[in-house]
Each structure stands twice: as structure tokens, then as C-alpha cells.
Amino acid sequence: MPLSEFELIERYFRGCGSRREDVIIGVGDDAAVLRCPADAQLAAAVDTLVEGVHFPRDSPAQSIGHRALAVNLSDLAAMGARPSWALLALTLAEAEERWLAEFAAGLGALARAHGVALVGGDTTRGPLSVTITVLGHVPPGRALRRGGGAPGDAVFVSGTPGDAAAGLALEQGRLPACEQAERLRRRFLFPTPRLALGERLRELASACIDVSDGLLSDASKLARASGCGVELMAAALPLSAPLLGAVGTSRARELALLGGDDYELCFTVRPNALERLTSEVPAAEWGYTRIGTLQEQPGARVLGEHGPLEISSSGYDHFAGA
Ligand code: ADP
Ligand code: MG
């Protein structure tokens, strides 16, 4: 017998994620009622994943559940906020129990890892699409912004960008399977929102953005919002061993700059705060790398070993004669 909407919600989404004392009324009533701390500001973000657009058709359900929450948590990480609650609007072609169990397991595991409670949502029938709203907290006036950077600020990125784009290419069969395939695929299927790093950066970074569209594009957005330009050094890009093994240096740099879906943090630090960053948030422990500098000249530039690289959306080429 097909699952009713009520049963579906009860079975898979009530109690999904962490149990939190500040949830006065959660799943099951007409709206959630949540207790807000008196000394914090609310941070809110929403993102939609549509099948065939944001993830391949027939992606593992566990990954869809994980990613739908991860992309939202990543937005809160970029603000230096700590997540508390999530709402899930799920559109499904059919209520298939195995799919739902795996989806809820993926979402629930990531939610529990970050102390997030699923407090409500909506369930409708239609082509597969997942919208999650996350709510979190940030100390008053302390949220990280895209627009706080200034010329001379050092530019950093966490993790190893490019892995997720290679992982997606492997998923879609655009890149032949190789020894490193599983590790790269996992970087696409199960991205890690950098929440702890975002909170640490609150007092240290001048600006921050999460890398969803591609490092170059997102660093450019940060620079533009900050009223400056950005110069990145190709040789400084942190490329993972699996990525280098799978595609080689040149293509790896291209994927790191232009690929998307990394959900790492790109952030800037004033020269006079660099020492504090190094001592309070050591790079070796937190996994971030300096990749460039903000500049007065608007726009985004990438410096290769032999001069500037010309970038187009399909990749980049060395300047002729440079
Ligand atoms: P209403 O029609 O009053 O909005 P629904 O039947 O849509 O009620 O939802 C009943 C309860 O289940 C509400 O508390 C709602 O927030 C919750 N809910 C519905 N769908 C989901 C979902 N996919 N995930 C989490 N909670 C959900
Ligand atoms: Mg409803």
C-alpha cells in the first residue's frame, strides 16, 4: 500500500537530525516554534537542488539528502554563523520507501554532526527537487561579509578545490574511471561544509564567501563586493593528490579555478591580522592555503609561472608570447 503523506513525514522526517531544547514545537504542527537566544542575530539561507540541474539523475539518495543540507550549511559557514534548525521542502515523483530512508539518512547524519534539528517542511508530488532552509545564529554585528575586503588583503581557500568538479565528471562518465575515482566522487557526493572554520574566522577574516560556482568566480564576487579586484597565483592552488593523479597539473588547476560544488571557504585577511591567523587558526590544522591578494585594479587575474593566464569559461590558455 502506498505511503500516505502523513506516514511519510512521521516515518522519515519527524526526529530527523539533532534533538534540541530550543525547539518548542517541531514537525507535526502547522508551524515550528523556536526559542531564539536573546544575545544573538538570526542567520537564514535557502537553496534548491533540482534533479538533472544540480545533481545527476539517479544520484544516490543519501548523497542528495547530504548535499541539500550541506550547500545550505556552507552558506552559514561563510557568514561565520552556527546552524540550529532546518526546514525541508521536498518534491517527489513517488514515495519510494528505500529512497526516502536513504535520503533521510544522508540528511540526518549531516544534521546530527552539526547539531541541527529538522523542524518542519512541506512534501509535494512532482519532478524531484529539494529545497532546504537553514536558520542559525551569529553574535550581534559579527557576521562575516563578502564586502569587507580591501586592497592588500591576503586571499585564502580551504580544502582542495577542483576535487568535486572531477568527482562530478566521473559520476557523469566525462572522465574515465581511475584509481583516485572513489575519493573524488565522494568530494562531489558528500561535500564538507566548513562550519568550524567559519566560526573561527569571524574575528580574523575581513571577508568570506563559500565556493559553490567555482573558486575564480566566487573570489571575483568577493572582490567585487569589497570594491576591489583579485589576483590569484596558479602555482599556489592547493591541488589534491587524487586530482593531480586523475587529470595532471594543468587540468587540475583549471578544475580548481573553474569547477564548482566544492563548498570550501574563500576568505581574506588584512596584512596586520596574518600573524593572529597563523597562531590562532594554524593552516596545517585547519587545511587552508594562501592563493592570492586583493588589489585596487578591478577584475580577476590568475598568474601562471610565465605570466598572466587568459581564462575563459571553457578553460584557460597561456597568453601567446607571455
Ligand atoms: P500543512 O498542510 O498544515 O502545512 P503538512 O501536512 O504539509 O501540514 O505538514 C505537516 C507537518 O509536517 C508540518 O509540521 C510540516 O512542517 C511537517 N513536514 C511536512 N513535510 C515535511 C518534510 N518533508 N520534512 C520535514 N517536515 C515536514
Ligand atoms: Mg504544508
Q: Is 9 in the pocket of ligand 1 (CB under 6 A)?
A: yes
> Does residue 133 contact residue 168 with C-beta atoms inside 8 Å?
no
- Domain CATH code at residue 46: 3.30.1330.10
> Does residue 151 contact residue 296 with C-beta atoms inside 8 Å?
yes
Q: Is 29 in the pocket of ligand 1 (CB under 6 A)?
A: yes
Q: Which of 117, 138, 159 is the last residue of a domain?
A: 138
Position 192 scores a pLDDT of 98
Q: Which of 120, 138, 156 is the last residue of a domain?
A: 138
**Together in a domain, 109 and 257:** no
**Together in a domain, 41 and 182:** no
Q: 107 CA to middle of ligand 2, Å?
A: 20
Is 303 part of a structural domain of the chain? yes
Q: Which of 86, 113, 138 is the last residue of a domain?
A: 138
Instruction: Determine which residue's CA is closest to atom 22 belonging to ligand 1.
Output: 121
Instruction: Determine which residue's CA is closest to atom 24 belonging to ligand 1.
Output: 121
Position 90 scores a pLDDT of 98
Q: 308 CA to middle of ligand 1, Å?
A: 53
Among 247, 271, 71, smallest CA distance to 176 is for 247
Instruction: Determine which residue's CA is closest to atom 5 belonging to ligand 1.
Output: 122
> Does residue 61 contact residue 106 with C-beta atoms inside 8 Å?
yes
Q: Is 7 in the pocket of ligand 1 (CB under 6 A)?
A: no
Is 321 part of a structural domain of the chain? no
**Together in a domain, 75 and 58:** yes
**Together in a domain, 291 and 163:** yes
**Together in a domain, 108 and 218:** no
**Together in a domain, 175 and 125:** no
Strand partners of residue 292: 155, 232
Is 151 part of a structural domain of the chain? yes
Which atom of ligand 1 is nearest to 88's Cα? Answer: 24
Position 4 scores a pLDDT of 87
**Together in a domain, 26 and 86:** yes
Position 321 scores a pLDDT of 32
**Together in a domain, 94 and 199:** no
Strands (E), the chain: 23-25, 33-34, 41-50, 82-92, 117-125, 129-138, 154-158, 207-211, 229-233, 264-269, 288-295, 300-304, 307-312, 315-318
Position 2 scores a pLDDT of 74
Q: 211 CA to middle of ligand 2, Å?
A: 32
Position 1 scores a pLDDT of 58
**Together in a domain, 187 and 126:** no
| Domain membership of residue 83 as a residue range | 8-138
**Together in a domain, 118 and 155:** no
Q: Is 117 in the pocket of ligand 1 (CB under 6 A)?
A: no
3-state secondary structure of 30: coil
Is 199 part of a structural domain of the chain? yes
Position 201 scores a pLDDT of 98
**Together in a domain, 232 and 254:** yes
**Together in a domain, 41 and 110:** yes
What global pTM score does this model have?
Answer: 0.95
Is 313 part of a structural domain of the chain? no
- All residue ranges of the chain with pLDDT < 70 are 1, 312-322
Q: 122 CA to middle of ligand 2, Å?
A: 5
Which of 27, 103, 119 is the pocket-test mutation for ligand 1 (most atoms within 8 Å of CB)? 27
What total of structural domains would you count in the chain? 2
Is 322 part of a structural domain of the chain? no
Position 312 scores a pLDDT of 67
